[in-house]
Chains A and B, each alone.
Chain A
């Protein structure tokens, strides 16, 4: 099928070539008298250009109303006919000639053929041609892998649907946790990288090198193949070193050191060290037997080794820094291989030897078993219990043992490759099955960090999540309701988004009004009821029917909504229609203008009945009552609350005992009855002391008398 396709495309290409050849072979007659009509044409063009100068394309097609000389075949218009001009029509001479008929036929044939589109259609691309491709496609289809990449595979969709809300939440928490961990580690790595102490880095490197060595020793004992692989890697490092000039005292640093080397012993040593390293790296590694010693040397410089070699050649050899591959978007396969740090860490060690010995089937079984285990674990245990082990595991393997994990990853990679090779030998069905299973498992075990919470897709689930988030954020103080008999939705007092709230309100109102309380029989039942007691159910039914029509709750909610709307501060629209534009009937100022001149009212304070679904509180000010309130703060007070506190105790006799009432209302100054009160003179107020003062005026609080007054009093009494 594919071959026939190819043939077709070839044919099409051929035809194209033919088409291109065409004008060369049969020069058209029209081109001959091009020269004489050139001036005219230019003129016409110029006119056209001028006429099309004003913005709109007002090009007028030349319409001939009278016979003129200025008719050229170049400005043939097809206007009158209302049809498109066809090339074949043009080719047609006045008289039919046999020579052109052939051309025409050819042209028609060419046109009837479809041309090949480039680039090819996706379907075309994805059509499997080679047997390998077919096989892969087969696999993909069996696995319901998306071929024309939709957002989610059917499997994924199914899994989405299968996932309950609880699971989604769990998953999300897990992911969040993982991401947080990741960010911690990134931060940590950055911090550690920034440390300038050379000693620290030296120690770190040494430690890592030691660790790596140990690991390698172990690996060599346990898994010689992996060790071999490791050696291969070293070989690659050597190659890299040979290619680059990294340790040949040619860098900037090395040059600066070279200048100093004469005088500075340390600089000299450093240079020598670098050269030694170069030598070390360039040394050829002997296989197997003596690898241990060599390894020691190579591993000495552990850290630089890893980034240079591994990160640059990551496509082939190794995964990149686990913390960085979030940005890096390789194809999914690679991501799958790379990600999964937890998987890499542990199973590798135990799996590798087994797989070596018992063949691929066993290994695969182990793999599956492990997945099963994990799945069951996830299902069984609660959220945090799940979140913890994963996190800790990750933490363990990703924090300190980078080198180790690198080695392990290597070994696993090797392992897997061997799997693959062996699987090839197995029967095809078997392979399919295996791959399928593995794929499923992979899907399950998709790298944690690559997952986003987008998995929670279904609308209501999302809503649920959102709501929950809201709950966490703001939990309003519960209104004091101790109705034991009311089974109320606890969420009804929480601030949730508005539509949500409305919904909640409705629910709550329903609950509120349909409180079922145990209808205890009172001792004396009204006589009419006694008669009708057996018909009580009937009656209830009747009541239900009677109230079926009027939906009290809906009406009330509507009323409340209206009240809320009415109490909202209104925006002020200052748009003047016709201002700055043409006037006339049916003017409509532009949206931009309206937006510009719309003064948005500030959001008022929240309504008092915001959380009371069954209440509408009037927010209007009682201006009549306000007229009686205090509106000025008396002198020492700076805040109204302070003053309010001093006027909260009533002083009327209604609220106080007779004694306290008298005391509270006692005037500050009491005059003896019958005493003449003289008008105030300047001396009384001010500067000179008057000779006489009123003894009859008794201060309520003698302590508060000023010193001068006291003196005066004394003087008077002396007199």
Chain B
């Protein structure tokens, strides 16, 4: 009998695909994909590809697309489960690498404004900026002098292409503001409180003195919704097709515009509601109240999801940034505060403004605009995710009238300000996301494309009841009902089918199956299980022990008296 000769075995593919395909440093091309095929590939001509394999992807970008929370420790799992988990992780990595790769297509870079060695950017006025930028951008700065119909509210469509504005004294107009082509202009002969585009620029909701009206882009009144009366503020949730309305009577009403039904009418029990904003991250509506609190609402709950005490006086304005991380509030106590919305709801920074901000708006990239009287201040943060630092304003601009409405235009570095003297479109470099998603909100889409998108969006409509503080809650198991069901099953069956049956040693031959040995084997298994348990519990609290250790060389029991 010959034993198989042991050859010098070297495992092939030492760099298997299991290893991370993400290079650690994007600067140094390590070419991890080269490894898949060891040795440089040779073409027919014999020439060598100097950059063989797929290009490396920077880690940070890939990390952005990873959604599995690996910080949570999992209970010990069997091999079958482990393989599933590994598969899921591999899949995630693969798709996030792909997504990171496609970042290459985001060619545009955000604009910026920098002062020359220590120059304050706030001193740069709009005229200077207009002078410096190209003609196309310069055309985006304009003023509409509409002194006749009082202070204006305005709203940009989601694509950022269209602008609708309504004056207090009934003037309503919609235009393609880039080309300055007027779509419609009417006077509703009633006070206009707020105006908002619905999911596309073809529909326009106007909160008039009495009821809520919906117009199309020709200015034809399509609906008069009498169940929503005395509306003060409008907010549209694009993914849920919900129009949220806050009324003078203290009701927050959700109107599903795709089916025309009122989803929920919630009584906020806080008097007149005239401050409302939405959190674009989780579609939660924020209402500001006169008792200094901001309440967070979802149509699925009768009570607010959260109530945050923000100011001593009444809240005057609320804004939430596009990532849903920060909320800016201003109150009658002249304070402007930025709150962290990630669970803690604590103020991150605050500052006192000379007159307090009456209007607030966040841009896509996290710039914060505040309208105080007839001045607009813009603050900028360090990056996209960081809160704006309130120390120094990034830009300031004085208007011809008092600010009445503020909104940053999506995908354009433009801040639209509605005031008592009309509309001002001012340039705010670095405000908007430079790259748009052509499938999602394409500023240049044709009518057909828009219709196509509309259908798709309607198909992907998110149910209203899914609105909650954590939008990723859907990826969680409903533990409470799971436990409940488990308990019920246990009651029904009398035993738990999920548990492993106790170990029963197999009978063995040749006298090795004596009772003593059986017991011994049983005990062995039991001990093993116990040891496992102990090990696990030890692993769970290593920090505690570390904490107990003092810094000195030899700890003494008397150390506990030292303070």
Asked if residues B347 and A486 are in contact (CB atoms below 8 Å), the reply is yes
Asked if residues B373 and A515 are in contact (CB atoms below 8 Å), the reply is no
Chain B proximity of A514: nearest CB distance (Å): 7
> What residues of chain B have their CB less than 8 Å away from a CB belonging to chain A?
67-69, 72, 74-75, 77-78, 80-81, 84-85, 87-89, 91-92, 94-95, 98-99, 101-102, 120, 122-123, 291-293, 298, 300-301, 303-313, 332-335, 337, 340, 343-355, 372-375, 377, 390-393, 396-398, 440, 460, 463, 465-468, 472-482, 485, 498, 557-558, 561-563
Any B CB within 8 A of the CB of A629: yes
A524 with B375: in contact, given A483-B346, A636-B78, A649-B67 (CB under 8 Å)?
A: yes
CA distance A177 to B558 in the complex (A): 7
Any B CB within 8 A of the CB of A111: no
Asked if residues B349 and A622 are in contact (CB atoms below 8 Å), the reply is no
The residue of chain A having its C-beta at the shortest distance from the C-beta of B311 within the complex is A513
Asked if residues A521 and B374 are in contact (CB atoms below 8 Å), the reply is no
CA distance A385 to B329 in the complex (A): 51
CA distance A363 to B127 in the complex (A): 94
CA distance A180 to B559 in the complex (A): 11
Q: Which of A514, A559, A624, A663 has the most CB of B within 10 A?
A: A624
The residue of chain A having its C-beta at the shortest distance from the C-beta of B439 within the complex is A653
B88, B98, B303, B393: the one within 8 Å of A522 (CB):
B393
Asked if residues A642 and B77 are in contact (CB atoms below 8 Å), the reply is yes
CB neighbours of B89 from chain A (8 A): 645
CB neighbours of A486 from chain B (8 A): 347, 350
Asked if residues B91 and A664 are in contact (CB atoms below 8 Å), the reply is yes
The residue of chain B having its C-beta at the shortest distance from the C-beta of A528 within the complex is B373
Known: A536-B354, A612-B344. 9 other contacts (CB 8 A): A391-B558, A512-B346, A526-B373, A552-B313, A618-B303, A622-B465, A641-B75, A645-B72, A649-B91
Asked if residues A656 and B95 are in contact (CB atoms below 8 Å), the reply is yes
A617, A628, A629, A647: the one within 8 Å of B306 (CB):
A617
Any B CB within 8 A of the CB of A197: no
CA distance A615 to B308 in the complex (A): 5
CA distance A628 to B475 in the complex (A): 10
Stretch in contact with the other chain, from A54-62, A474-482, A590-598: A474-482
Asked if residues A622 and B311 are in contact (CB atoms below 8 Å), the reply is no
Asked if residues B347 and A523 are in contact (CB atoms below 8 Å), the reply is no
A523 with B123: in contact, given A484-B349, A620-B301, A622-B301 (CB under 8 Å)?
A: yes
- List residues of A (365-387) whose CB comes within 8 Å of B's CBs: 383-384, 387
CA distance A391 to B561 in the complex (A): 12
B69, B98, B123, B312: the one within 8 Å of A660 (CB):
B98
Asked if residues B477 and A631 are in contact (CB atoms below 8 Å), the reply is yes
CB neighbours of B374 from chain A (8 A): 526-528
- List residues of A (588-647) whose CB comes within 8 Å of B's CBs: 608, 612, 614-618, 620-633, 636-647
A481 with B344: in contact, given A177-B561, A536-B354 (CB under 8 Å)?
A: yes
CA distance A604 to B421 in the complex (A): 57
Binary contact track A169-186/B, C-beta < 8 Å → 1, others 0 = 100011011001100000
A642 with B74: in contact, given A481-B340, A543-B313, A543-B334 (CB under 8 Å)?
A: yes
CA distance A383 to B392 in the complex (A): 47
Asked if residues A519 and B478 are in contact (CB atoms below 8 Å), the reply is no
Asked if residues B558 and A639 are in contact (CB atoms below 8 Å), the reply is no
Asked if residues A645 and B477 are in contact (CB atoms below 8 Å), the reply is no
CB neighbours of B345 from chain A (8 A): 612, 614-615
Chain A proximity of B296: nearest CB distance (Å): 9
Asked if residues A555 and B558 are in contact (CB atoms below 8 Å), the reply is no
Nearest 10 pairs of A and B residues by beta carbon: A526-B373, A624-B465, A640-B477, A660-B95, A629-B478, A646-B88, A519-B352, A624-B300, A616-B307, A614-B309
CA distance A181 to B475 in the complex (A): 57
CA distance A512 to B337 in the complex (A): 11
CB neighbours of A523 from chain B (8 A): 120, 122-123, 393, 396
Asked if residues A485 and B350 are in contact (CB atoms below 8 Å), the reply is yes
A638 with B77: in contact, given A624-B465, A664-B95 (CB under 8 Å)?
A: yes
Asked if residues A383 and B68 are in contact (CB atoms below 8 Å), the reply is no
Chain A proximity of B348: nearest CB distance (Å): 5
Q: Which of A173, A550, A614 has the most CB of B within 10 A?
A: A614
Asked if residues A648 and B475 are in contact (CB atoms below 8 Å), the reply is yes
CB neighbours of B85 from chain A (8 A): 642, 645-646
The residue of chain B having its C-beta at the shortest distance from the C-beta of A475 within the complex is B547
CB neighbours of B349 from chain A (8 A): 483-485, 517
Any B CB within 8 A of the CB of A24: no
Chain B proximity of A384: nearest CB distance (Å): 4
Any B CB within 8 A of the CB of A654: yes
Any B CB within 8 A of the CB of A509: yes
Q: Which of B304, B334, B346, B480 has the most CB of A within 10 A?
A: B346
CA distance A631 to B482 in the complex (A): 5
Any B CB within 8 A of the CB of A657: yes
CA distance A614 to B307 in the complex (A): 8
- Interface pairs (30), CB distance under 8 Å: A181-B558, A479-B346, A485-B350, A513-B292, A526-B354, A526-B372, A546-B313, A552-B291, A552-B313, A553-B312, A614-B310, A615-B307, A615-B309, A620-B303, A623-B300, A625-B466, A627-B465, A629-B473, A630-B477, A632-B485, A633-B477, A640-B482, A642-B81, A642-B84, A645-B74, A646-B84, A656-B95, A657-B102, A659-B98, A664-B95
- List residues of A (535-588) whose CB comes within 8 Å of B's CBs: 536, 543, 546-547, 550, 552-553, 555-556, 559
CA distance A559 to B374 in the complex (A): 37
Asked if residues B344 and A480 are in contact (CB atoms below 8 Å), the reply is yes
Chain A proximity of B450: nearest CB distance (Å): 18
Asked if residues A618 and B475 are in contact (CB atoms below 8 Å), the reply is no
Chain A proximity of B225: nearest CB distance (Å): 23
Q: Which of A169, A383, A636 has the most CB of B within 10 A?
A: A636
Q: Which of A177, A526, A617, A657 has the most CB of B within 10 A?
A: A526
Asked if residues B373 and A631 are in contact (CB atoms below 8 Å), the reply is no
CA distance A486 to B475 in the complex (A): 36
CB neighbours of B355 from chain A (8 A): 525-526, 528-529
A521 with B561: in contact, given A612-B344, A633-B477, A650-B67 (CB under 8 Å)?
A: no
CA distance A522 to B345 in the complex (A): 27
CB neighbours of B347 from chain A (8 A): 481, 483, 486, 512, 515
CB neighbours of A520 from chain B (8 A): 351, 391-392
CA distance A553 to B81 in the complex (A): 51
Asked if residues B477 and A180 are in contact (CB atoms below 8 Å), the reply is no
B78, B293, B463, B557: the one within 8 Å of A180 (CB):
B557
Asked if residues B463 and A628 are in contact (CB atoms below 8 Å), the reply is yes
CA distance A515 to B85 in the complex (A): 48
CB neighbours of B474 from chain A (8 A): 625, 628-629
A547 with B333: in contact, given A527-B373, A612-B344 (CB under 8 Å)?
A: yes
CB neighbours of A176 from chain B (8 A): 561
Asked if residues A637 and B81 are in contact (CB atoms below 8 Å), the reply is yes
B67, B87, B351, B463: the one within 8 Å of A648 (CB):
B67
A657 with B99: in contact, given A485-B350, A512-B347, A640-B482 (CB under 8 Å)?
A: yes
CA distance A98 to B478 in the complex (A): 107
CA distance A550 to B304 in the complex (A): 22
Asked if residues A618 and B301 are in contact (CB atoms below 8 Å), the reply is yes
CA distance A646 to B485 in the complex (A): 22
A645 with B88: in contact, given A387-B561, A629-B474, A656-B95 (CB under 8 Å)?
A: yes
CA distance A533 to B373 in the complex (A): 14
Asked if residues B465 and A180 are in contact (CB atoms below 8 Å), the reply is no
CB neighbours of A525 from chain B (8 A): 354-355, 375
The residue of chain B having its C-beta at the shortest distance from the C-beta of A647 within the complex is B475
The residue of chain A having its C-beta at the shortest distance from the C-beta of B482 within the complex is A631
Asked if residues B480 and A485 are in contact (CB atoms below 8 Å), the reply is no
A552 with B298: in contact, given A642-B75, A654-B460 (CB under 8 Å)?
A: no
CA distance A626 to B120 in the complex (A): 52
CB neighbours of B562 from chain A (8 A): 173, 383-384, 387
CA distance A662 to B92 in the complex (A): 14
The residue of chain B having its C-beta at the shortest distance from the C-beta of A640 within the complex is B477
Q: Which of A177, A622, A645, A660 has the most CB of B within 10 A?
A: A645
